[in-house]
Amino acid sequence: MKLMESGEMYLETILILQKKYGYVRSIDIAHEMNFSKPSVSRAISVLSDDGYVDHDPHGMIILTDKGREIAEKIYDRHMLLTKYLVWIGVSEDTAEADACRIEHIISDETFNKLKDQLPGSFK
């Protein structure tokens, strides 16, 4: 079953927050994504039921191996696409916003071909 874009966004956000702070709480996700805490709680519950996230003994949200794999894939796409768009002359803000949308819909085939064509500094 393919994860929906919103689920991918949550997983990517959890990964980013974990890298930034070392831990992730629902309130951190709510602040980062500008969503209400109840919305985040519902989404985390669904992601947990589907095996993408879990909670540690202190209630912190952690990515399962399955969730981490998807989060890292989306995050890598986001970073490479943002760099590429800036490289071709798109403003940083627009590149960031566009990469955030493209990262969820670009096929693996297209992304890998794009990645193969880029200079080594992008990879």
Which H helix or E strand runs over 81? Answer: helix 65-87
Q: What's this model's pTM, rounded to 2 decimal places?
A: 0.88
Shared domain for 78 and 65, answered yes or no, is: no
Is the predicted pLDDT of residue 2 greater than 90, yes or no?
no
Residue 9: closest CA among 71, 99, 72, 95: 71
What does pLDDT average to over the chain?
Answer: 92
Shared domain for 34 and 60, answered yes or no, is: yes
Q: Cβ of 5: how many Cβ atoms within 10 Å? A: 14
Shared domain for 34 and 88, answered yes or no, is: no
The helix-helix angle for 92-105 and 65-87 (nearest 10°) equals 140
Structural domain ending residue among the three candidates 29, 53, 69: 69
Task: Give pLDDT tens digits for 65-85.
Answer: 999 999 999 999 999 999 999
Domain that includes residue 40, residue range = 5-69
Indicate the number of domains in the chain.
Answer: 2
Shared domain for 90 and 78, answered yes or no, is: yes
Amino acid at 80: L
Assign residue 10 the CATH number of its domain.
Answer: 1.10.10.10
Structural domain ending residue among the three candidates 69, 85, 114: 69
Shared domain for 89 and 52, answered yes or no, is: no
Assign residue 83 the CATH number of its domain.
Answer: 1.10.60.10
Structural domain ending residue among the three candidates 27, 49, 69: 69
Average pLDDT over residues 16-40: 95
Residue 81: closest CA among 62, 97, 68: 97
* Secondary structure E strands in the chain: 53-55, 61-63
Shared domain for 76 and 111, answered yes or no, is: yes
Tell the residue number behind the tokens 């702070």, with chain if given. 21
Question: Percentage of the chain with pLDDT > 90?
Answer: 82
Residue-level pLDDT at 123 = 60
Shared domain for 97 and 44, answered yes or no, is: no
